[in-house]
Structure 1
Amino acid sequence: MAAPVVAVVETLTFRPAWSDPDTARIEWRDTESVPIDEIEESLWPHTPFGDDLLMNADEWRLRGDPSWTTRTLHGDYNRVDRLQLSVGGELHPSDHALPRIGARFGYSFGRKRTLYGVRFEQPLLPNEWLAVGASMDRRTAHPDLQQIPDWENSLDLLFGRNDHRNYFERSGIGAYATTRLGDLTTASLHVRNDEYASLALEGGVTSILWRERELRANPEIDPGEVHTWALQLERLARRKVAPRAGIYHWLSLERAGHGLGGEFEYTRLLGDLRTVLRLSPATTLAVRLAAGHTLEGTLPAQRRFTLGGVDALRAHNAATFEGDRIALAQAEYTFGLWRFERLDGVNSDLSVIVFADAGSAWSGPGHDWNLGDQRVAIDGGFGIGTGDETLRVYFARDLREPAGPFNVTARLQRPF
Structure 2
Amino acid sequence: FSQVSLGYRIEQVSLSDFELNVPQFFRDSSSGLTSSVTLSLSRDTRNNPYITTKGTFHQASVEYAGHGLGGDNDYLRLIGNARYYYPVWGSSVLRFNARIGYIKSLKGEPVPLFERFFTGGINSLRGFELRSVGPRVTIPTSVTGGDEDFVYGGNKLLLANLEYEFPIFDSAGLRGVVFLDAGNAYAEDENLNPLDIRANFGAGLRWLSPFGPLRFEWGFPFKRREGEKSNVFNFTIGSAF
Give the TM-score taking structure 1 as reference length. Answer: 0.43
Q: Please name the residue that 2:200 is paired with.
A: 379
Q: 1:286 and 2:110 equivalent? A: no
Q: Distance in 1 between matches of 2:205 and 2:11?
A: 42
Which deviations, in whole Å up to 9, do the C-alpha atoms of 1:101-120 show, x marking residues without a partner? xxxxxxxxxxxxxxxxxxxx
Change (3 A) 1:333 1:222: same
2:4 corresponds to 1:187? yes
Corresponding residue for 2:38? 230
Structure 2 residue aligned with 1:267:
76
Aligned identity (percent) is 25
The match for 1:328 among 141, 144, 159 is 159
Structure 1 residue 349, shift from structure 2 partner? 5.2
Secondary structure at the counterpart of residue 313 of structure 1:
coil
* 1:245 aligned residue: 54
Query: Are 2:174 and 1:353 equivalent residues in the alignment?
Result: no
Q: Equivalent residue of 1:302, what SS? A: helix
How many residue pairs match? The answer is 206
CA distance in 2, matches of 1:303, 1:390: 28
The verdict on how the C-alpha distance between 1:252 and 1:358 changes in structure 2, with shifts beyond 3 A counting, is same
Partners of 1:275 and 1:337 lie apart in 2 by 23
Q: Please give the secondary structure, in 1, of the residue aligned with 2:196.
A: coil
What TM-score do you get using the length of structure 2 for normalisation? 0.70
Q: Which amino acid aligns with 2:156?
A: R
Counterpart position of 1:108: none
Partner of 2:188: 364
In 1: Cα distance, 2:229 partner to 2:114 partner:
31
**Whole-angstrom CA distance in 2 between matches of 1:408 and 1:382:** 10
- Quote the offset at 1:295 in angstroms: 4.4
Alignment partner, residue 397 of structure 1 = 220
What is the DSSP-based 3-state SS (H/G/I as helix, E as strand, rest coil) of the residue aligned with 2:114? helix
What CA RMSD, in Å, does the superposition of the two structures yield over aligned residues? 3.3
Counterpart contact for 2:93–2:166, Cα < 8 Å: yes
- Counterpart contact for 1:354–1:383, Cα < 8 Å: yes
Give the residue type in structure 1 aligned to 2:186. Answer: W
CA distance in structure 2 between the partners assigned to 1:268 and 1:247 by the alignment: 24
Query: 5+ residue gaps in structure 1?
Result: 1-182, 202-216, 340-346
Greater radius of gyration (CA): 1
- Give the residue type in structure 1 aligned to 2:219: A
In the alignment, the residues of structure 2 paired with residue 257 and residue 222 of structure 1 have an alpha-carbon distance, to the nearest angstrom, of 16
1:43-54 equivalences in 2 (<5 Å): none
- 1:2-37 deviations in whole A, cap 9, x for unaligned? xxxxxxxxxxxxxxxxxxxxxxxxxxxxxxxxxxxx
Unaligned runs of 5+ in 2: 134-152
